[in-house]
Amino acid sequence: MDDRKKRILQAIVDEYINTAEPVSSGSIARRYNLDYSSATIRNEMAELEKCGYLDKPHTSSGRVPSALGYRLYVNELLKDDDISIEEIKYIQSKLETRVNEIEDLTRITTSTLSEITHYTTVAVGPRNNMQRIEEVKFVLLGKRNLMAIILTDSGIIKETIIKFDEDITEEQVNTLTFIFNNKLMGKPLEAIDKPLEEYIFSQMNYSLNVIKPIMQQLKKVISEETEYLLEGANKAFDLPEFKSLEVAKNFINILDTKEIMMDLLNTGFANDINVYIGEENENEKLKDFSIVTFKHKYKDKDLGTIGIIGPKRMDYSKVISVMKYISKKLNGE
């Protein structure tokens, strides 16, 4: 794989990302100043195809990058810093918004990312079981409703309401608070389990009627799907690939069955931008799409993962540049 082949491949991918049309040897020779004739480029393209980096829709058509071609492009040929001053300013202004809840920061980041890149953006909260409990609070609402608040080290606050069939006293609440904090402070969320239930039951002399519903609801909340955010689903429909009904249908399906995206977002390495290109994905429905994800943190607190989904012909340079910038900015310059 010599240098000239790479330059040509890069030109083809760039051109295809811009036009969404199969790229001909002539257009490359004309528009990119590679100083070779279309015939030479044609020969190189034939070889690139033989190596699997390019595909041809039919015998006499131009070339289209294959998944392998995009992969090489992403790994080796990306333009760095593909982000303008205006965009930087816009991102800065957005991220400076003061937020009270950490979820708001995720929401702002997600929508900003979608606005800048013009792709659909998805976010999930951090994996619950990684978080450690800092404090548990119980607040009596009326006589038969109890709100439980769990503060974690990631700054995410889980709260839930538990309904009872009998009245709860302030004293009970105090005991509960003491025992839960005593037992759980510093522990991961998954420490809320059966053994804990038994321990608490042994410590408190109330009926199971009080503890059972609390444990049940707490377990439900911590096992619950983390928040799932979706921004700019309609943006995709302006892209030429969505002329195909099958593509459009798959897209909606992917977004609607949250598990597909959630799985993908929960894979991937921390501290890194992960790129999944078309057929590289196991899921058949993702074959026409690429997804770029990154775990975002704020002052080293895990805030979950944000992903961008678009056509394989995605503007990887732009997307990755913007993600890198936002990631750096969030983590403190």
Partner DNA sequence: CTTAGCAGTCGAACATAAAGAGTGCTAAAA
Partner DNA sequence: TTTTAGCACTCTTTATGTTCGACTGCTAAG
Among 49, 82, 115, 135, binds a second copy (CB under 8 A): 135
Using rule CB under 8 A, residue 271 touches a second copy: no
Tokens of 299: 């002052």
Using CB distances below 5 to 8 A depending on partner kind, what does residue 233 bind out of DNA, a second copy, none? a second copy
Closest contact distance (angstroms) between CB of 285 and DNA is 24
Rounded Cα gap, residues 177 and 146, in angstroms? 12
Distances (CA, A) of 176 to 167, 180, 205, 251: 15, 6, 11, 47
Using rule CB under 8 A, residue 232 touches a second copy: yes
CB burial readout 197-221, b (16+ within 10 A) else e: beebbeeeeeeeebbeebbebbbeb
Rounded Cα gap, residues 94 and 261, in angstroms? 25
The site for a second copy, by CB under 8 A, has a size of: 31
Q: Residue 79: helix, strand or coil by DSSP?
A: coil
What residues are paired with 298 via a beta bridge? 301
Specify the residue, 8 or 229, whose C-beta has the smaller distance to DNA: 8
Q: Do the beta carbons of residue 11 and residue 34 sit within 8 Å? A: yes
Using rule CB under 8 A, residue 101 touches a second copy: yes
- The terminus-to-terminus CA distance of the chain in angstroms comes to 38
Specify the residue, 17 or 236, whose C-beta has the smaller distance to a second copy: 236
Closest contact distance (angstroms) between CB of 11 and DNA is 12
Contacting positions for DNA (CB under 7 A): 22-27, 35-40, 42-43, 45-46, 49, 56-63
Among 1, 39, 130, 139, binds a second copy (CB under 8 A): 139
Using rule CB under 8 A, residue 147 touches a second copy: yes
Binding site for a second copy (CB under 8 A): 100-101, 135, 137, 139, 141-142, 147, 149, 151, 157, 159-163, 217, 232-234, 237, 242-243, 245, 248-249, 252-253, 255-257
